[in-house]
């Protein structure tokens, strides 16, 4: 007797249905071709709660609160897809769970009877903890198709050791995706170490990445481990990899290929075990054509590329993102639908970061706890007026830049070049600090 036949017989005995599902170590339900749920396993009940068996429960009603199948509600229906293809089908859905709306990786397995007729489906529902369909502080938010496509890639690659290349415009969330991949990987209990490569000189990148020996250059008063050592066992995230010079690319290639390196000024060959994630907003193929990016390095870093959609390609996520950013500022604030409409018609050059700026600005400008269309339009126009007044902005920016440069220079001296300390005092991220130090050409050697 074939395995499948036995399975069908087992399933025909209602008492055994639940037991059969217990064999799966993920939440599972048994569904008929008419979408009726016949049984669930313990893992399902733990994740999604008890099903009310009094009413003939349908999967679309239980998982989504719909009164018709998902495909008729404008969503992908894995059951319909499996009926048509007669193969296992997978899809990422947002389901109602006791924790609110959560992304769930759905796998629909068709089961045939001895006449080769499709009789049942086993639906496996794996919650995806790295994203949220509703509000949450750490998670990536979104439910648009473009976002879900990207999230699917993130879930597929997170658990492997493959090098990932994140491609997307500025402010689309590349850094957040790198954190998500790290947190969902086997290395999550070790460090995620980030180096923002943009604008750093070759010497600085080298000394930051590989560390240096005492006396390696002026100001190197003691031995210092580099970021590669700090990332041992964990993940190394190289942001804006498209901006590094050809000379630095050679060093990176050597590091990635051999997983060995030497501290600047040192002779000892050290090894490091890290998972590599790189990101860029630049068109690497174009850079390769111009001879500005090495093809061999490109192949090394681009084992698994993930395209991060721009905000213009996921406008339907705006209400959810706005709610989230508002909640971070003040629980009592509300935004009107017409204000949301304005935000959904705006074109974002700075993507989610720009949206967040607009909301932060609106929180300051609104005089009541309601943010309406007028406030949002004012916040958007503020950006436009800055772009259209170059002489004014450059004049003011110049003096602000001078003040900032002096402040950071002093802080670096006070803290003897300890960038983490400086970043803490200046209340900026380490990443922002690197950008600023580089912009003002302040180096450790000056401190």
Ligand X SMILES: Nc1ncnc2c1ncn2[C@@H]1O[C@H](COP(=O)(O)OP(=O)(O)OP(=O)(O)O)[C@@H](O)[C@H]1O
Residues engaged in binding ligand X (CB under 6 A): 140-142, 168, 170-176, 239, 281, 321, 352-353, 356
Report the nearest approach of ligand X to the CB of residue 239 (Å). Answer: 6
Cβ-based nearer residue to ligand X, 151 or 422: 151
Are residues 380 and 358 in contact, defined by beta-carbon separation less than 8 angstroms?
yes
H or E, element range at 411:
helix 390-414
Are residues 314 and 172 in contact, defined by beta-carbon separation less than 8 angstroms?
no
Cα–Cα distance list, 266 to 148, 165, 217, 230, 232 (Å): 46, 30, 12, 17, 19
Q: Where are the alpha helices (DSSP H) in 217-372?
A: 227-230, 246-258, 284-289, 295-301, 318-329, 337-345, 351-365
Report the nearest approach of ligand X to the CB of residue 49 (Å). Answer: 26
Rounded to 10 deg, the angle between the 318-329 and 337-345 helix axes is 120
What is the number of residues in the chain?
447
Longest dimension (CA), the chain: 84
Cα 76 from Cα 81, distance rounded (Å): 8
Q: Where are the alpha helices (DSSP H) in 159-223?
A: 174-183, 202-210
Cα 447 from Cα 413, distance rounded (Å): 5
From the CB of residue 350, how many other CB atoms can be counted at a distance below 10 Å?
Answer: 16
Cβ-based nearer residue to ligand X, 182 or 281: 281
Cβ-based nearer residue to ligand X, 60 or 325: 325
Cβ-based nearer residue to ligand X, 108 or 321: 321
Q: Does residue 166 come out as left (phi exceeding 0), alpha (psi in the -120 to 50 range) or beta? A: beta
Are residues 442 and 428 in contact, defined by beta-carbon separation less than 8 angstroms?
no
Report the nearest approach of ligand X to the CB of residue 343 (Å). Answer: 14
Report the nearest approach of ligand X to the CB of residue 431 (Å). Answer: 8
Cβ-based nearer residue to ligand X, 159 or 432: 432
Cβ-based nearer residue to ligand X, 171 or 234: 171
Report the nearest approach of ligand X to the CB of residue 142 (Å). Answer: 5
Report the nearest approach of ligand X to the CB of residue 242 (Å). Answer: 11
Tokens of 112: 């045939």
Report the nearest approach of ligand X to the CB of residue 151 (Å). Answer: 9
Report the nearest approach of ligand X to the CB of residue 179 (Å). Answer: 8
Cα 298 from Cα 392, distance rounded (Å): 42
Cβ-based nearer residue to ligand X, 18 or 173: 173
Cβ-based nearer residue to ligand X, 51 or 340: 340
Cα 54 from Cα 386, distance rounded (Å): 62
Report the nearest approach of ligand X to the CB of residue 100 (Å). Answer: 15
Cβ-based nearer residue to ligand X, 37 or 352: 352
Cβ-based nearer residue to ligand X, 62 or 184: 184
Report the nearest approach of ligand X to the CB of residue 321 (Å). Answer: 6
Summary count for the chain: helices (H), strands (E): 19, 17
Tell me the residue nearest to ligand X as measured from the CB.
173
261's CB contacts (< 8 A; 6+ apart) are 209, 210, 226, 228, 254, 255, 269, 270, 272
Cβ-based nearer residue to ligand X, 62 or 141: 141
Report the nearest approach of ligand X to the CB of residue 307 (Å). Answer: 12
Cα 224 from Cα 214, distance rounded (Å): 8
From the CB of residue 285, how many other CB atoms can be counted at a distance below 10 Å?
Answer: 11
């Amino acid at each position: 007797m074939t395995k499948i036949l036995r399975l069908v017989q087992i399933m025909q005995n209602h008492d055994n249905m639940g037991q059969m599902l217990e064999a799966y170590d993920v939440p599972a339900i048994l569904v008929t071709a008419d979408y009726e749920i016949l049984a669930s396993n313990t893992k399902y009940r733990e994740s999604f709660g008890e099903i009310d068996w009094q009413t003939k429960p349908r999967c679309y009603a239980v998982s989504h609160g719909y009164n018709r199948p998902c495909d008729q509600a404008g969503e992908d229906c894995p059951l319909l897809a499996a009926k048509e293809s007669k193969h296992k089908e997978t899809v990422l859905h947002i389901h109602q769970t006791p924790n609110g709306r959560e992304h769930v990786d759905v796998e629909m397995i068709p089961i045939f009877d001895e006449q080769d007729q499709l009789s049942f489906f086993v639906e496996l529902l794996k919650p995806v903890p790295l994203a949220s369909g509703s509000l949450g502080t750490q998670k990536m938010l979104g439910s648009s198709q473009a976002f879900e496509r990207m999230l699917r890639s993130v879930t597929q690659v997170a658990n492997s050791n493959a090098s990932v290349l994140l491609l997307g415009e500025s402010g689309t969330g590349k850094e957040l995706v790198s954190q998500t991949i790290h947190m969902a990987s086997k290395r999550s209990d070790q460090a995620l170490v980030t180096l923002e490569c943009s604008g750093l000189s070759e010497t600085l990148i080298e000394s930051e990445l590989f560390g240096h020996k005492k006396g390696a250059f002026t100001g190197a008063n003691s031995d210092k481990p580099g970021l590669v050592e700090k990332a041992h066992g964990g993940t190394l995230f190289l942001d804006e990899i498209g901006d590094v010079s050809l000379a630095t690319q050679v060093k990176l290639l050597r590091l990635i290929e051999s997983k060995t390196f030497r501290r600047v000024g040192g002779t000892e060959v050290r090894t490091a075990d890290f998972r590599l994630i790189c990101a860029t907003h630049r068109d690497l193929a174009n850079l390769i054509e111009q001879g500005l990016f090495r093809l061999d390095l490109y192949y090394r870093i681009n084992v698994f590329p993930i395209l991060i959609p721009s905000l213009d390609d996921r406008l339907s996520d705006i209400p959810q993102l706005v709610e989230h950013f508002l909640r971070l500022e003040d629980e009592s604030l509300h935004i009107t639908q017409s204000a949301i409409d304005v935000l959904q018609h705006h074109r974002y050059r700075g993507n989610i970061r720009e949206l967040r700026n607009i909301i932060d600005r609106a929180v300051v400008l609104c005089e009541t706890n309601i943010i309406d269309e007028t406030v949002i339009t004012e916040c958007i126009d503020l950006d436009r007026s800055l772009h259209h007044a170059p002489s004014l902005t450059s004049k003011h920016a110049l003096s602000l830049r001078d003040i900032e440069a002096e402040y950071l220079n002093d802080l670096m001296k006070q803290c003897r070049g300890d960038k983490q300390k400086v970043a803490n005092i200046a209340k900026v991220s380490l990443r922002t600090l690197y950008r600023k130090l580089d912009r003002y050409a302040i180096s450790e050697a000056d401190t």
